[in-house]
């Protein structure tokens, strides 16, 4: 096929699977079509929060991600509640990215349900719009997964574009469209800005993306450091970052969390939960061959207030006992005694074990010879004796936002 468009600049896609967890469940069980479906905690115990909701649940009943399950059930008594099946989600995610890789090898996995493609050199396949329509159509027909696609000259604009029309939207956002389309929006709607950053910007009189774009560079740098400079560039539609096929393989953190079946105030129970979580994190670190020097714990109280606390140690670790002891250290110093609803442990900034340089001080010599390590080796021989599968592992890098409108192709400005 002859080229159907002239190359002038980069052409970047952001492909976002709509309500991914819920879509995977409906793809597995088509009888769920037409019903309000959420993925959450154990429906029998009504614990946990909504991890994902399909569009019927969102649009008809106002159910949203992070809503307590009891409230979602109250809004929709007929709500179908399914426990998360991360094995299924990873399996379907792999198929999605395998399909996307047939269009271009310049593919970056941003998370389990979203990724970037650089199709600048794919002009022989058709126009960007032709390619986007083909991707959307085939993923829906073969895997039954709806996706929204943003088309833009860089990653930031492509990400913003894909959020503009869900489900099944295709949106083209050009750099020249930025003042009309993005600048009127509040800063909290901008990719890369969370609640805390938005509050900091608001504190100096910046409320819209346009005001951020026009703000003095030095002011933003004093407020947010180098992040402030980057956000100003993005607000002006500037983002030189390449689509990096290797970035998806760079593990930054490994964590597990669980929502408790009831509000817990007993330290003994919290320590039992931490031990299980530490084992889960350790198992995954060993599978990936990575170590870490930083542990972070997350505590969510019964009033849904959430705190995270972390500490970095001199020597890297991988064993469950080491992770557990560090998590206990953090819990004892930062838990205020109020009822706990959720606990989580994350090994932050993990890196390849082969790169770890460990000092063989007396502590490590003792650790190698300790009775614990003898027991550990027996556990590793018979891992099936330990029911760690009951832990509900949370995937915190996946974000599920409020989505609305019907699928269509949009160009901005209209």
Do 56 and 148 form a contact (C-beta atoms < 8 A)?
no
Residues with a catalytic annotation lie at 114
Query: Could you tell me if 293 and 253 are in contact, meaning their C-beta atoms sit under 8 angstroms apart?
Result: no
Highest mean pLDDT among 52-56, 147-151, 311-315: 147-151
239 annotated as belonging to a binding site for a ligand: no
- The annotation status of 195 as a binding-site residue, yes or no, is no
Please tell me the distance from the alpha carbon of residue 104 to that of residue 125, in angstroms, as a whole number.
10
**C-alpha atoms less than 13 angstroms from C-alpha of 374 in its C-beta half-sphere:** 4
- Report the CATH number at residue 332: 3.30.1490.100
Distance CA 258, CA 277 (A): 8
Assess whether 227 and 265 both reside in one domain. Answer: no
Q: Which residues pair with 351 in a beta bridge?
A: 291
Instruction: Kindly state whether residue 119 falls inside one of the protein's structural domains.
Output: no
Q: Reading across the β-sheet that carries 52-53, which strands appear in turn?
A: 52-53, 37-39, 80-82
Interval 159-193: pLDDT, tens: 999 999 999 999 999 999 999 999 999 999 999 99
Q: Would 157 be classed as within a structural domain?
A: no
Asked if residue 96 belongs to a domain, the reply is: no
Rounded to two decimals, the pTM is: 0.63
Share of the chain above pLDDT 90, in %: 60
CATH of the domain at 221: 1.10.150.20
Cis ω on the peptide bond leading into residue 413 (within 30° of 0)?
yes
- According to DSSP, the β-strands at 147-152 and 114-118 are unpaired
Q: How many domains does the chain have?
A: 3
Domain membership flag for residue 273: yes
Residue 60, both tokens: 């008809």
Residue 257: in which H helix or E strand, if any?
A: strand 253-264
Nearest to 162 by CA among 414, 413, 403: 403
Range of the domain at 65: 21-86
The reported pLDDT for the residue numbered 251 is 55
Same domain? 361 vs 259: yes
pLDDT in tens, 188-217: 999 999 889 999 999 999 999 999 999 999
> What pLDDT shows up at residue 51?
85
Q: How far apart are CA 254 and CA 368, in angstroms?
A: 24
Q: Quick one: 299 and 333 in the same domain?
A: yes
Do 361 and 331 touch, CB atoms closer than 8 A?
no
Cis peptide before 167 (omega within 30 of 0): yes
Whether residues 261 and 223 fall in one domain:
no
Q: Which residue has the tokens 């505590």?
A: 299
Phi first, then psi: what are they for 73, rounded to 5°?
Answer: -65, -35
Q: Domain check: are 284 and 332 in the same one?
A: yes
Same domain assignment for residues 265 and 304: yes
Structural domain contains residue 122: no
Please indicate, yes or no, if residue 156 is contained in any of the structural domains. no
Same domain, 375 and 259: yes
Cβ distance 20 to 91 under 8 Å? no
Rounded to whole angstroms, the Cα distance separating 63 from 56 reads 9
End-to-end CA distance of the chain: 31
Report yes or no: 338 and 294 within 8 Å, Cβ to Cβ. no
Residue 188 and residue 281 share a domain: no
Q: What is the mean pLDDT of residues 48-58?
A: 90
Residue 55: inside a domain: yes
Question: Quick check: 345 and 295 in contact, CB under 8 A?
Answer: yes
Residue 85's pLDDT band (boundaries 50, 70, 90)?
A: confident
Q: How many CB atoms lie within 10 A of CB 54?
A: 27
The rounded distance, in Å, linking the Cα atoms of 154 and 156 is 6
Do 224 and 314 share a structural domain? Answer: no
**Same-domain status, 279 and 340:** yes
Q: Based on the domain organization, do 265 and 320 belong to the same domain?
A: yes
Question: What average pLDDT does range 276-287 have in this prediction?
Answer: 91
**Pick from 88, 90, 75, 84: nearest CA to 43:** 84
What pLDDT digit, counting tens, does each position of 234-243 carry?
999 999 999 9
CATH number for position 45: 3.40.1170.60
The answer to whether position 270 is within a domain reads: yes
Tokens of 227: 């992040």
Sign of CA dihedral 290, 291, 294, 296: positive
**Whose structure tokens read 């269509």?**
408
CB 350 within 8 A of CB 297: no
* Beta strand 80-82 pairing with 37-39: parallel
Regarding whether 335 and 268 lie in a shared domain, the answer is yes
């Amino acid at each position: 096929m002859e080229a159907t468009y002239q190359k002038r600049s980069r052409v970047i896609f952001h492909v976002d699977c709509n309500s991914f967890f819920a879509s995977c469940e409906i793809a597995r069980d088509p009888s769920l079509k037409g019903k309000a479906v959420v993925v959450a905690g154990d429906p029998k115990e009504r614990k946990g929060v909504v991890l994902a909701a399909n569009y019927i649940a969102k649009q008809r009943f106002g159910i949203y991600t992070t809503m307590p399950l009891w409230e979602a059930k109250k809004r929709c008594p007929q709500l179908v509640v399914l426990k998360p099946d991360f094995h299924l989600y990873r399996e379907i995610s792999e198929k999605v990215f395998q399909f996307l890789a047939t269009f271009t090898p310049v593919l970056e996995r941003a998370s389990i349900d979203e990724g970037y493609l650089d199709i600048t050199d794919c002009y022989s396949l058709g126009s960007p719009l032709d390619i986007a329509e083909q991707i959307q159509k085939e993923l829906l027909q073969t895997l039954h997964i709806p996706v929204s696609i943003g088309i833009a000259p860089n990653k930031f604009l492509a990400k913003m574009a894909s959020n503009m029309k869900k489900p099944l939207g295709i949106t083209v956002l050009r750099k020249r469209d930025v003042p009309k389309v993005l600048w009127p929006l509040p800063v909290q709607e901008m990719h890369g800005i969370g609640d805390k950053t938005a509050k900091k910007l608001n504190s100096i009189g910046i409320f819209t993306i346009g005001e951020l774009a026009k703000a003095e560079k030095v002011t933003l740098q004093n407020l947010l450091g180098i992040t402030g400079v980057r956000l100003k560039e993005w607000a002006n539609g500037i983002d030189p970052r390449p689509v990096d096929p290797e970035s998806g393989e760079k593990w930054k953190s490994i964590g597990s969390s669980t929502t408790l079946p009831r509000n817990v105030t007993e330290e003994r129970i919290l320590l039992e939960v931490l031990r299980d979580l530490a084992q889960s994190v350790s198992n995954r670190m060993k599978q990936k061959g990575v170590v870490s020097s930083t542990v972070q714990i997350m505590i969510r109280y019964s009033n849904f207030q959430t705190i995270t606390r972390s500490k970095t140690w001199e020597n890297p670790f991988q064993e469950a006992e080491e992770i557990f002891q560090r998590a206990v250290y953090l819990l004892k110093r930062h838990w205020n005694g109020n009822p706990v609803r959720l606990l989580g442990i994350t090994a932050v900034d993990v890196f390849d074990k082969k790169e770890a340089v460990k000092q063989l001080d007396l502590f490590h010599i003792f650790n190698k010879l300790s009775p614990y390590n003898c027991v550990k080796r027996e556990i590793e021989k018979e891992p099936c004796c330990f029911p760690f599968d009951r832990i509900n592992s949370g995937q915190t890098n996946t974000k599920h936002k409020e989505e609305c409108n019907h699928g269509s192709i949009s160009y901005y400005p209209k």
